[in-house]
Amino acid sequence: MQVPYKMNDSAVPVITLDGPSASGKGTIARLASQALGFHYLDSGALYRLVALAAMQANVDAHDEQRLADIALHLDVVFSDTSVWLDGKNVGDEIRAESCGEFASRIAHLPALRAGLLDRQRAFRKPPGLVADGRDMGSVVFPDAVLKIYLTASTEERAHRRYKQLMDKGISANIENLLQALRERDERDSNRALSPLQRSGDAKLLDTTCLTIEQVVDKVLEMYAETRDKASGDA
């Protein structure tokens, strides 16, 4: 049973970063949360954790009820940059392309999304939260004080994913990554439930030609402007 969502909890501000795969949401959100002293929610990791658990249990990607049950009973711990599932550090495993593809195929399932909704909202604790994903600003935290749609060209995102994998010693092919990103964008943008899209009140931030540090600075500037405006309107 879902807990009713309490809107406009101004005592706990939320910044949401939504956008396509490999746009840098996770890195930027984590660094911004550290700079602000806020909590951090990597919503994509939750879907990847469900995907990993399902793959390990040989659960079919179309078995919605079993996937929803996995989501409700995940034994997960987030610790700094580590992610633990059933007592095992699976941070690298959930970043594998196979896991990401499985997560993308199941993310549209209503029962699964419902099973993870309260779990995501529970991350909202003082002094604040930075959350990244696909529908953080539109569905999970519709009253976020700042909503950002983070994007970059498909080519740049493919190069970033390639570098990330190679740095971890994981073999990758740039053309395959580029094709996979295009297919994932198409799938995520056209799903019926919570599709990937920029909400009307989200600020666009294109990171194609920006460094990580520059993007983090822009996010912090946006938040400072939003906070100052809110103080002035009070």
**Pairing outcome for strands 129-133 and 14-18:** parallel
- Cα–Cα dist 47/148, whole Å: 21
User: Class of 14-223 per CATH?
Assistant: alpha beta
Ramachandran bin of 63, using left for φ above 0, alpha for ψ from -120 to 50, beta for the remaining angles: beta
- Cα–Cα dist 101/180, whole Å: 8
* Mean predicted confidence (pLDDT) in 146-152: 96
Structure confidence by residue, pLDDT tens digits, 34-75: 999 999 998 989 999 999 999 999 999 999 999 999 999 988
Q: What is the pLDDT of residue 10?
A: 54
Binding residues: 19-27
Binding residues for ATP: 19-27
